[in-house]
Amino acid sequence: MRSDIRVESLTFRYDERVTALDDVSLVVRQGERVAVIGPNGAGKTTLAQHFNGMVKPTSGRVLVGDLDTAEHPIAVLAAKVGFVFQNPNDQLHAKTVSAEVHFGPRNLGFPPEHARHLVERALESTGLTDLADAHPHHLSLAQRKMVAIAGVLAMDTPVVVLDEPTTGQDSVALDALATIIADLSLRGRTVIAITHDMDFCVENFDRVVLVADGRIVEDGTPAEVFAGDRVARLPQVVRLGRELGWSEQVTTVDGFVDHLAVTRG
């Protein structure tokens, strides 16, 4: 069963006055890598929290596969959509990293051997194997964020949503995140990430959705979205290409160097 996400005319209001999302429609197909960008307060997190039913629409509907999120409890949707919060402290409760990462797969009722395999793989990909017995609250915020990511990876959901995964991460963790995203994608999983890091965005995602004032204002490939003037701070490589007067839109370091080689003959 494919877990495409369909957002149909979604409006979300809180306090009955503030419209956080205004008639948003979006389809994310199984296996896509989508970055959601936009200013603070634009509605990115509120939109993403609809994908696993944490937040229910005021009007319109959100479907995950054939499940209408308004009609199913989070417990059911959690098996489809793993969600990593922006603040890991909202998510971590167990006394060791290992127990924390075990929580999800155990809750989903996976056989113990399978769960153990998933936990090991999640710890390894997040670089936490050596910290498996540590107390999550003795770790740095950046490390706790990796624990939260490992916890969701271990649930082996068809869709993984990451809310600002790069915040505060060092270059080793950024490389690990890039590998995790590539690996999820290879295994056909959908990856949706909210990010403020435009360089990370162009390097790891095929599609960029720009949210502003509760609406989707751009939706396309990184090259398409960053060709316009709606983005506050363009990726470094895009700026470099523009400054050099290149008509070809390059977004990544490799793409830049390849194009440079072509222009130099």
Question: Strand ranges (DSSP E) for 71-158?
Answer: 81-84
What is the residue whose two structure tokens read 């999820």? 184
205 contributes a contact to another protein by CB under 8 A: no
**Cβ atoms within 10 A of the Cβ of 202, count?**
25
Compute the distance between CA of residue 145 and CA of residue 194 in angstroms, rounded to an integer.
14
What is the residue whose two structure tokens read 């599609």? 207
169 contributes a contact to another protein by CB under 8 A: yes
- Which residues, 6+ apart, have CB-to-CB distance to 177 below 8 Å? 149, 165, 166, 169, 200, 204
Binding window for another protein (CB under 8 A); candidates: 64-72, 107-115, 185-193, 246-254: 246-254
Binding window for another protein (CB under 8 A); candidates: 3-11, 51-59, 115-123, 161-169: 161-169
* Of 36, 33, 38, the residue nearest 206 (C-alpha): 33
228 contributes a contact to another protein by CB under 8 A: no
Site string for another protein, 10-49 (x = CB under 8 A): ----------------------------xxxx--------
Tokens encoding 181? 């995203």
Q: What are the strands of the beta sheet with 67-68, ordered from one edge?
A: 18-28, 5-14, 59-64, 67-68
Give the pairing of strands 67-68 and 59-64: antiparallel
Give the pairing of strands 159-163 and 190-194: parallel
> Minimum distance between the CB of residue 157 and another protein, rounded to whole angstroms?
26
97-136 positions binding another protein, by CB under 8 A:
none
Determine which residue in the list 143, 157, 190, 204 makes contact with another protein, applying CB under 8 A. Answer: 143
> Minimum distance between the CB of residue 52 and another protein, rounded to whole angstroms?
21
- What is the radius of gyration, based on Cα positions, of the chain? 19
Residue 164 or 218 with smaller CB distance to another protein: 164
179 contributes a contact to another protein by CB under 8 A: no
55-84 positions binding another protein, by CB under 8 A:
none
Binding window for another protein (CB under 8 A); candidates: 4-12, 28-36, 220-228, 252-260: 252-260
Compute the distance between CA of residue 183 and CA of residue 103 in angstroms, rounded to an integer.
22
> Minimum distance between the CB of residue 194 and another protein, rounded to whole angstroms?
10
Residues that bind another protein (CB under 8 A): 38-41, 86-87, 138, 140-143, 164, 167-174, 196, 198-199, 231-233, 235-237, 239-240, 243-248, 253-254, 256-257, 260-261, 263-264
